[in-house]
Amino acid sequence: MYELKTLLPQFDITLPTCMYELRNVSLSAGATPGPANQDTTAVLERQEKVLKQLEELKAQLGKIRASLGVRVCGKTVQHTTAYQNGGLKEVPLHDVVVNGHPNFIPYALLALKNAWRDLYTIDVKTFTHSTMADIGPAAREFEANLAKVSMNPALPKINVTLIWKNCEHTEMISSPTMYVPIYGEVNIIRYLGRVGPTEYRYENSPLCNEIDAVLDICYQLLRCTTHKSQVAMVRLLDKRLQQQQYFGGDQMSVADIGVYSSLIRMPAITDKDLTPALLAWRKRAKLITQI
Given a cut of 60, whether residue 88 has pLDDT beyond it is no
Question: Which of the four pLDDT bands, split at 50, 70 and 90, describes residue 73?
Answer: very low
Given a cut of 50, whether residue 75 has pLDDT beyond it is no
Given a cut of 80, whether residue 200 has pLDDT beyond it is yes
Given a cut of 70, whether residue 259 has pLDDT beyond it is yes
Please say whether the beta carbons of 36 and 23 come within 8 A: yes
Strands (E) in 165-260, as ranges, are 171-173, 181-183
Strands 76-77 and 96-100 come out as: unpaired
Q: What is the pLDDT of residues 94-132, one digit of tens each?
A: 789 999 999 999 999 999 999 999 999 999 999 999 999
Q: What is the pLDDT of residues 19-45, one digit of tens each?
A: 777 766 565 545 555 555 667 788 888
Question: Which of the four pLDDT bands, split at 50, 70 and 90, describes residue 143?
Answer: very high
Please say whether the beta carbons of 158 and 112 come within 8 A: no
Secondary structure letter of residue 134 according to DSSP: -
Q: Which residue has the higher pLDDT, 195 or 257?
A: 257
How far apart (Å, rounded) are the C-alpha atoms in residues 226 and 111? Answer: 26
Three-class DSSP category at 171: strand
83 - beta bridge partners?
Answer: none
pTM: 0.68
**pLDDT at residue 87, rounded to an integer:** 46
Give the burial class of 26: count Cβ atoms within 10 A of its Cβ; 0-12 exposed, 13-18 middle, 19 or more buried.
exposed
Mean pLDDT value of segment 164-168: 93
Given a cut of 80, whether residue 247 has pLDDT beyond it is yes
Query: Chain-wide mean pLDDT for the chain?
Result: 85
161 - beta bridge partners?
Answer: 97, 125
